[in-house]
Structures are given as C-alpha cells and as structure tokens.
Amino acid sequence: MLFRSGTIRIPFEPNGKARERMRPMQRVELDPEHDRHARAALEAYADASAVDMPWLAEWMREALGSPQPDLTRCAATVERVFDLAHAWAADQPDYARAAWEHVRGRLHEALQHAPRAIAGGALETDPA
C-alpha cells in the first residue's frame, strides 16, 4: 500500500458526484496535509499496526510528522472506547460512578483542547 502526500483519489469527481466504476475500488490515496480525517485514519492505522508491523507504524508516524497533536486526531475513537470501558466497568462490583464521570469530563476537556491541523500545516486549537 503506497501513500502519496498531496493527493486525494476517492472515487469522486471535482463536482462531488461519485463516478460510476466498472470494477471495485482497489486503492484510496489520502492527503493528511489537508484532510483531518485522512490524518486521523493514518494515525489509527499506525496505532493498530504497531504490534504486528512496528516498522510500518514507525514509518507512518514519521511520515505524518512530529507527534502533533500531543493527544490524538482520533478523539471520536477515544471517546467510543472510553464508553465501552465504562459500560464494562459499570457491571463490576467495585464500580465507582463518580470517578468514571470525573475521568470522562477530564478526557473530554483534553480532547476538545487538542490542536488540529489546518491548511498549510499550521495548527489551531479547538475552542472550549
């Protein structure tokens, strides 16, 4: 799988309409420089592949640049996983609802303040 920066080739025409394709899509090129969703997808892929293919994860993280933002671009995934963990913990005998809600609040606050990329590679911080 190759990643070329500066290109997006999802099967869409410039006017936004999907092209009719005779064969199934075999490759998608992502542009992490200008598409925050692409950067989040590549970050998640690097995390997911780290155990089986550490060399690939390392290469992808280097290709994405410095570890910015300090937290993650996958905030929605972090919140979803936290919700799953919270649901599991709620069934345990030592569950402490107040503690989980406190952690949820701090996590949400931290994710809201994570810097995000904007065009040109600059960073901006999401408003609280």
Predicted pLDDT of residue 35: 83
Q: DSSP secondary-structure letter at 43?
A: H
Confidence of residue 1 (pLDDT cuts 50, 70, 90): very low
Nearest to 32 by CA among 21, 22, 40: 40
The crossing angle, in degrees rounded to 10, of helices 75-90 and 97-112 is: 180
Each residue's pLDDT tens digit, 55-97: 998 898 888 875 555 567 788 888 999 999 999 999 999 999 9
- Name the pTM for this structure: 0.54
Quote the Cα angle for 40-43-48, to 5°. 125
Give 36 or 106, the one with higher predicted confidence.
106
**What gap in Å lies between CA 8 and CA 45, rounded to an integer?**
17
Q: Average pLDDT, whole number, for the chain?
A: 75
